[in-house]
Amino acid sequence: MAAIPGPDPASNGEGASATRRRVVDAAVACILERGFYRASSNEIARRAGVTWGVIQHYFGTREALLVAVLDDGARRFHEEMAAARVDGGTAQERLGQLVDVLVVHYSRPRYLAYLQILLNLDHDPTTSADVRRTMQDVAERSEAHLHRLLGEALGPTAETPGLATTVFLLLRGFGISQQLQETMAYDSVVPQRDRTAMDRRRLADMLTAYLRAPRSLGA
């Protein structure tokens, strides 16, 4: 039996975009707290303050809602990269800014929710095409902005074959590892905020030292 849609918040003065925003945010929060498989349709609806019928009205299925969460993450990334600038006076300052831009994005809790959705839905034949289309779209839309940021930070060395891509992958992985560390490290001696900032500065210092060693660039 088809679910009967509940009252649409949009009909009570709340716009459709605001309703969709609350549902997407509720899905992210539910996945982060309960995990991908326990983030049920009913639990997401409860957190969003709507009925499952309302979610069906806007998204159709739970899987379509989760693809919409990925779409939202892709939009956020594109907007952040478009707005970001690297303009430090020294190579160390510029690399520090690049670290902050990329690592901050990938170390956010939301990104762990995106990863859970991506890893699960990409292997689902009913959603894999939509997921891959979403990821391809964000890659294409953000490529120019990422190229600009990496060029601003790396300077002429950005033209070294493969270097900019390697730096991007390094910073993305570092950001994800910081989020995992904050989520899973239960016996840290150093206060987490201090450790996080320290690790980012050390990474910027390491990249600066690497770029100042011309003989290593082609290695």
Identity at 59, one-letter amino acid code? F
Over the stretch 45-58, which tens digit does the pLDDT of each residue have?
Answer: 999 999 999 999 99
Tell me the percentage of the chain whose pLDDT exceeds 70. Answer: 86
Over the stretch 94-134, which tens digit does the pLDDT of each residue have?
Answer: 999 999 999 989 999 999 999 999 999 999 898 999 999 98
Q: Are residues 24 and 85 in the same domain?
A: no
1 domain residue, yes or no? no
Tell me the percentage of the chain whose pLDDT exceeds 90. Answer: 66
Which of 60, 77, 94 is where one domain is finished?
Answer: 60
190 domain residue, yes or no? yes
Q: Are residues 48 and 111 in the same domain?
A: no
Q: Are residues 154 and 98 in the same domain?
A: yes
What's the domain count of the chain?
Answer: 2
Looking at residue 193, its pLDDT comes to 59
What CATH number should be reported for the domain holding residue 43? 1.10.10.60
Q: Are residues 70 and 158 in the same domain?
A: yes
Q: Are residues 138 and 84 in the same domain?
A: yes
Distance (Å, rounded) from C-alpha 150 to C-alpha 190? 31
- Boundaries of domain holding 31: 9-60
Looking at residue 97, its pLDDT comes to 95
Average pLDDT over residues 1-29: 72
2 domain residue, yes or no? no
Looking at residue 76, its pLDDT comes to 92
Q: Are residues 28 and 124 in the same domain?
A: no
**Residue 30: partners with Cβ closer than 8 Å, 6 or more residues away:** 39, 43, 44, 47
Per-residue tokens: 211? 């770029």
Looking at residue 172, its pLDDT comes to 94
98 with 151: CB under 8 angstroms?
no
Helices (H) and strands (E) in the chain, counts: 9, 0
192 domain residue, yes or no? yes
Q: Are residues 55 and 79 in the same domain?
A: no
Q: Has residue 2 got a pLDDT over 60?
A: no
Over the stretch 68-86, which tens digit does the pLDDT of each residue have?
Answer: 999 999 999 999 999 999 9
166 domain residue, yes or no? yes
Kindly report the pTM of this predicted structure. 0.82
Distance (Å, rounded) from C-alpha 137 to C-alpha 132? 8
Looking at residue 210, its pLDDT comes to 87
**Residue 13: partners with Cβ closer than 8 Å, 6 or more residues away:** none
Taking CA atoms, 89 is separated from 11, 65, 81, 86, in Å, by 53, 44, 20, 10
Average pLDDT over residues 134-138: 90
What CATH number should be reported for the domain holding residue 206? 1.10.357
Q: Are residues 39 and 123 in the same domain?
A: no
